[in-house]
Structure 1
Amino acid sequence: MAQHLALALAGTIRHDGDGGVADDLDDVAGLSAWLREQATSLRPYAGDLDGLDAADESLRRDVVALRRAVRTLFAEAVRPGPPSRADSASLLSPREAVDRLNRAAAAVPVCPVLAWEPDAAPTLTWRTDVSDARLRLVAGLARAAVEFLAGPDRERLRACHAPRCVRYFVKEHPRQEWCKPSCGNRARVARHYQRHAAGR
């Protein structure tokens, strides 16, 4: 769950389909749409967000600042490979990114809660007495990112280097080079074109 949420936050910066970069959190409407999409993944980290009124510019700025820290630490995690091209020139220092992530995670005190339903695997959620859904949201996103970055999946984190792609992904099998098959197809077509153009 942490992997999905951390990658989803980082993935709000993506290829726009026209050779540029799009930011899904560029405005409050984009943040609201993203929060609706991620509601199930957010619940274990931030609780029920039904109390979260419509997102506003202040919340958007907080989530975007957290995303910048996450993408900075993703860029650090994929070294010695190159980071995503989307924002490699505007990353924080790793120390600043860690501090930002830790401050956000610590803003809401939590305790772990184990749930274990019959015939199901045990699950962990975080409980807090803080009623402010906005604080819970940002702190929950930070906790998910910390959990992912401190966990074993970080070792498999990669930046996709297919033409025009700017996403990070977790490598699922040894031969995986791209975040999704369409990126692999684009990379193969680009290599084919380069070989034939060089031969002319």
Structure 2
Amino acid sequence: MQATPFPGPFAPAPGADRYPALDLANSAFTVAGGRRVDLIGEPADADQWLFERGFAPAGAGLRQWCAGQLRELRAHVRALFAAHVAGRPAPEAALAAVNEALTRAPAASLLRWDPERGLHREVAHPVSRIVEHALAVLAADAAELLTGEDAERLTACGSPPCDRYLLRNGRRTWCSTRCGDRARAARAYARRTRGTSQDPEGPGAD
């Protein structure tokens, strides 16, 4: 499933095109200056986010409660990611919430019959259960990421104040070109500052 680019200059973090759960975790993030961006903060935003990722038809008309369920799962997925990256035990509340979401929609193809198709199997997730189906798929994807071969690559962006997650590729630990540029600029500034403070011929030297 291909992730849709964030508005403006914020491209999806590495790995978000492969893992919708990573894309969900990064649907709220902090940008330079401390401004908080939430891509599913309102029902219409959640509607669009689910549609662009193939989880809902256009104009599904999600209500506030449905959008809240999506934001709640995001918080728990982020808690699991944070614990994993830090090498801490997984929070019990987050584990319980993700496991509960896994049961929201049937995983098995049920047996159906209709006059035109006869007996056939299909996964049951009618329009009335759009959010339940999305939550189940996203929770399963988070579980797969955290227990699969890419788990060791999961890391947090190393360019504060950004708080997105990504799959590390080599030594890269930032989620975007913008964050990489900011991290490099911060390192260069730190080197210049250290050089100036250690220079005996610098300002204030005898």
| TM-score, shorter chain, exceeding 0.5 | yes
Report the Cα offset of residue 3 of structure 1.
Answer: 4.2
Give the TM-score, by structure 1 length: 0.73
Q: Which one has a bigger Cα radius of gyration? A: 2
Report the Cα offset of residue 176 of structure 1.
Answer: 1.5
Partner of 1:65: 72
Report the Cα offset of residue 159 of structure 1.
Answer: 0.3
Check if 1:171 corresponds to 2:168.
yes
Gaps of 5+ in 1: 43-48, 82-92, 113-126
The 5 A counterparts of 1:1-200 are: 1=1, 3-39=18-54, 42=55, 49-50=56-57, 53-80=60-87, 94-111=91-108, 128-131=123-126, 132-172=129-169, 174-198=170-194, 199=196
Deviant stretches of 4+, over 6 Å: none
Query: In structure 2, do the counterparts of structure 1 residues 51 and 196 end up closer, same or farther at CA, with 3 Å as the change threshold?
Result: closer
8 Å CA contact 2:51–2:57 kept in 1: the answer is no
Gaps of 5+ in 2: 2-16, 110-121, 198-206
2: CA distance, partners of 1:143 / 1:80: 21
How many residues are treated as equivalent by the alignment?
Answer: 166
Report the Cα offset of residue 196 of structure 1.
Answer: 2.6
Report the Cα offset of residue 8 of structure 1.
Answer: 0.5
Report the Cα offset of residue 52 of structure 1.
Answer: 7.4
Report the Cα offset of residue 100 of structure 1.
Answer: 0.3
1: CA distance, partners of 2:58 / 2:183: 44
Alpha-carbon displacement from aligned partner over 1:104-147 (angstroms, at most 9, x marks no partner): 111222127xxxxxxxxxxxxxx622422222122222122122
8 Å CA contact 2:156–2:173 kept in 1: the answer is no
Partner of 1:88: none
1: CA distance, partners of 2:31 / 2:171: 27
Query: In structure 2, do the counterparts of structure 1 residues 171 and 79 end up closer, same or farther at CA, with 3 Å as the change threshold?
Result: same
Identity of paired residues, percent? 32
| Cα RMSD (Å) | 2.4
8 Å CA contact 1:6–1:70 kept in 2: the answer is yes
Name the SS of the counterpart of 1:53 in structure 2: coil
RCO greater where, 1 or 2, for CA within 8 Å and sep 6 or more? 1
